Structure formats: structure tokens, C-alpha cells
Chains A and B, each alone.
Chain A
Amino acid sequence: MNSTLLAVKAVSKHFGGLKALDQVTFEIRPREILGLIGPNGAGKTVCFNLISGVYKPTAGEIIFNGERTQGKAPHQIARRGVGRTFQIVKPFATLSVLENVLVARGISRYNHLGKIWSSWKSRAEIRQALEVLDRVGLADLAHRKAALLPLGNLRRLEIARALIVGKRLLLLDESFSGLRHEEILQLEQLIRNIRADGITVLLIEHNMRVAMGLSNRVVVLDHGRKIAEGSPQQIQQNERVIEAYLGRKGHSHAA
């Protein structure tokens, strides 16, 4: 088998004159958790949107599971087993929590005109959707309208949906932000369990303790460029990373 699940090769994304992402290259290996970190505006979410098909890269190649996927639409990439969450949560607000998850369960049907006419209200479907909700700790709220959930639960709901879609790769965009301490601990455990199930995770995270604690490897972006890559220990001691986050050492003193 392939030793790379996803390869991002010299990918650039320009918005007019702004180079949101400039010649970025990295790889994700199967069954690892790769952390993607960087200061605000570094291009992390742009990177997610390129991988999940929301944007087309200006240049470069994205290869998922041996297939070039750049330029494919989000629904086509989802069908290849890439699940994602959104930094700004996007629940289906008027649907119930259970229905939100059921939407994701339909992924194998939406591409076949003949398979979309049967009912989603079957006992088996609902039971399996409840199992996923149970896994993220939302089973009790299954029949609540999604619009009524607080942020922490909405993030879990997004992970539940992404888990169903992301049989191969899970893209988590700041899933920890806005969560309380206990919620963070639960979610960390959940992500470890997900990896144990053989799913690869790409994680954008601002919370350094979480990012360093969960990731096997870390890629650091700054101003659209990759400035470092390595194990969490290596990254924590990397001069350029410290500089990107804290400013140049001694620079302000010298002035």
C-alpha cells in the first residue's frame, strides 16, 4: 500500500495579489494525526478548503489516495472518504441533531438517482446514527433542534457528521476553540479513539497544548508558507516557529 494518504505538492492559492498559500508541500501518512498550526492568517483554513475542494489551487498538486483531487468539487471529495468540520460551525439549524447526522449517512446514496427515494426514517439508519451520536456524547440530545445547541455541542455534532463521511481522512478545523476544559479533555480522548480506529486526522489547532499533545507530526505555516515540519518536540524548539509566534528574539531590545 501507499505510505502517503494525502500529498500536498507545491500548492499555491492566490486571491488577486494576496498569496494566501505559497508553494506549500506536506504529506499525511495513514493512521497519523498531523497538526497544522500557525498564527492567524497563516493560511491554515485555506489549506483545508483546498484539500476539501472548496477552492481550486492556483498552482500545485493535491493527491489523495493516489488520485489527483485538485479541482474536484467538495461533494466529490467527500465521497472519497474525506470528512471535515468548519471553523465557523455550520449545523443544519432547523433539523434535529439526529437528522443532521442522518444527512451524512446518506453519502453513499446521493450519487445514484435510484437510491434517493427510499425513506431515511428506517430503524436501522436511526440506530446507526444514534451510535455515532453516542460516540461523541450527544445521544441524549438526538431529538433536539440543532439551532438550540451550545457551541461545544455543535462542534461535537460536526465531528459526528464528519466521522461518517471521513472513512479515510478527517479534517478538523479548530474543533477545540470555544470549549471548556473538561470538554477539551473529552474531545482529545475522542480523537485518539478515532485514530485507533485507523482514521487519519489532519487537525488545525490554536490551542498549543492540545496540538502538541495530540499530533504525531506538526506542520507550521506562517504568511502562507511552510516554515517548519517535525515532531512536536522539534517544533517547540524551532527558532523560526518561536519567531513567528512571539516575534524575533532581542529585536525589540536592540531597537
Chain B
Amino acid sequence: MNAYLITIATLICINAIVACGLNVIVGFAGQISLGHAAFFGIGAYSAALLATKAGLSFWAALPLVVVITALIGLLLGLPSLRVKEDFLAITTIGINFIVEAIFLYIPFFGGALGIGGIPRIMLFGVRLKGLTFFLLCLFFLLLVLAFCWWFSRSWGGLACFALREEESAAASMGISPVRFKLLAFVIGTAMAGLGGALYAHYIRFISATDFSFPVSVLLLSIVVLGGMGTLWGPVVGAVILGALPEVFRPLVDYRFLFYMLLLLLMIRYQPAGLLGEGSMVHRVFSLLLPEGKK
């Protein structure tokens, strides 16, 4: 396989991991977040700092990175999740800008120069790059998907679904809205942290703009395009939005025009996303499997 394709596939994989996290927050628990790139960035920066300043290996640092990102997610989620809908969207945008500004202006985080010289990941004495790194990302993506699948069948996941549908009814069934929104937020940000760590060790040079607001928009587009609340939606979304810019490369200046067109068409014809309830794919599958259990 050529290096170009592997690069794209690797980035798609990383995006899919981060988008799966966002899907837990937006799709499962129904809490809009337009600041997910902030947590992607927190993951990447913690991994980069632990590798370059503390000299930890990727494997030693990874649990720390995930915990750090999830803790910051918990901390920022506490005030954010007390507001709803549009206000939550604005608050999370705010979080994104603040986190980006902290990376950019505090010298400890490398300032405008970012952090370079991040080592490659070693596994069994092999330096992971190219195909092997892609396989590592794929492995983590499958892990994340397995977790999402499990969570969607757990009582905690069911509580999140109920909150998404009707918060006051959910509360009347013993579900604490704050607690379960936070749970979804922590799970989602932990996945963003994992994605960030992989990104840092893949690109090996990170700067604040890698995690700016447009990245959050891209991540949300991935989730919406693929189908919010579905298991495979974020993967399908990441593949399409990762591959399209390459396909449209000759039209690089007009790329955003196509994004917009695509989003408008989605909103008009497939509002639940490509894999969502009532979508074309969903209908075809229901026809093929008339005994569908759900």
C-alpha cells in the first residue's frame, strides 16, 4: 500500500476515535458540544509533554493522558452541563477558544512554536510508522467501538438515551441528569484524549491551531453525517469527510463549498445521518432483514 493512502487512513482512524467520543456526548446523551477539539488537543499536548519533558514512553503515558483529559473534561463539564442546547453549544465553543489560547500563549506549552520532537511509538522493540502505526490506530478504534457498543447496552447508556429524549421524565425515574451527562462527557473526552495521544505521536509536531474551532466543527460534521447515536456513524463520517478533501484536491479553493453543499443535502434528505433512523442505508438494511429485532 502506498504511503499516501496509509497517511490518510491513519488520520481517518484518529478522527474516527475522537468522533466516537463526541458521539457518546452528542449522540448518546444528547448534549451538543462544539468544543471537542479542545479535548483532542489536551490529549495531544499531555502526550507530547509527557514524552518530551518527562521522557515517558507512549505506553506509560497513555493511561495518564486519558485520565488527565477525562479529569479536565469532568472539571469543564461541571459548569457547562448546567446549561442546555444553544447555551451549551456556545459554552463549549468558548472552552475550545480558551484551551487553544492557553496552548498558544503559555510558554510551557511551546507557545506559537508548538511542541516538536515527539518520539515515535515503540512496540516490542519495533518503531511504529506507516502501516504498523495505522494498524495500531485501527486497533484502538476497534477498542473504542467495542466500548461504545458495550456502553449502549449498559444501564448507564440507557440512562443517557433517556436523558437525551426527555430530561424531566428521566429524572422522575431516578436518573440524575447532571451525573449522567457528566458520565457521557467524561467518556467522550477520554476518547478524545486517546485520539490526541495517537495524533501527537503520529504527526510528531503539534501546535495550537491543530485543535482550533474548525476542527470541532469537522468532528461534529463527522458525527452528524454518519448518524448521531449510531455505533458505526462516526466511522462512516470520518471516512467520507477524510477522503473527500483528497478526492476534491484539484478544487482545493472550493472545498468548503462542497462541505456546505453536502451538509445541506444531508439536512434536507437524510437528517438522521447516513446510518441513522429512517436513512437510506437503514431502510435498505431493514428490507434485507425484515426480522430486525429492534
Q: Which residues of A approach B to under 8 Å, CB–CB?
A: 52, 54, 73-75, 78-79, 83-84, 86, 90-96, 99, 102-104, 106-111, 115-121, 143, 161-162, 164-165
Contact = CB atoms under 8 A, between A and B. Distances in A.
Given A75-B171, A84-B172, A103 B153 contact: no
B155 to A, nearest CB: 4
The 3 A-B residue pairs with the shortest CB-CB distance, nearest first, are: A116-B156, A107-B174, A92-B165
B172 A106 contact: no
18 contacts: A84-B172, A90-B166, A92-B162, A92-B166, A99-B161, A103-B158, A103-B161, A103-B173, A106-B175, A110-B159, A110-B175, A110-B180, A111-B176, A116-B156, A116-B159, A119-B154, A120-B154, A162-B172
User: How extensive is the interface on chain B, given as a class?
Assistant: 20 to 34
Contact of B174 (A75, A90, A96, A102): A75
B277 interface: yes
Given A86-B168, A120-B153, A94 B277 contact: yes
Contacts of A91: 165-166, 169
A107 B171 contact: no
B294 interface: yes
A79 B161 contact: no
Nearest to A161: B173
Nearest to B272: A94
Interface in B140-186: 150, 153-156, 158-159, 161-162, 165-166, 168-177, 179-180
Contact of B159 (A78, A83, A106): A106
A255 B286 CA distance: 69
Interface of B: 150, 153-156, 158-159, 161-162, 165-166, 168-177, 179-180, 277, 293-294
Contacts, number: 104
A103 B172 contact: no
B172 A109 contact: no
B159 A117 contact: no
A45 B180 CA distance: 27
A111 B169 contact: no
A118 B159 CA distance: 12
A78 B174 contact: yes
Given A84-B172, A103-B161, A110-B175, 14 more contacts: A75-B173, A75-B174, A78-B172, A92-B161, A93-B166, A94-B277, A103-B159, A103-B162, A103-B173, A107-B174, A109-B155, A116-B159, A117-B150, A161-B169
B174 A118 contact: no
A72 B169 CA distance: 16
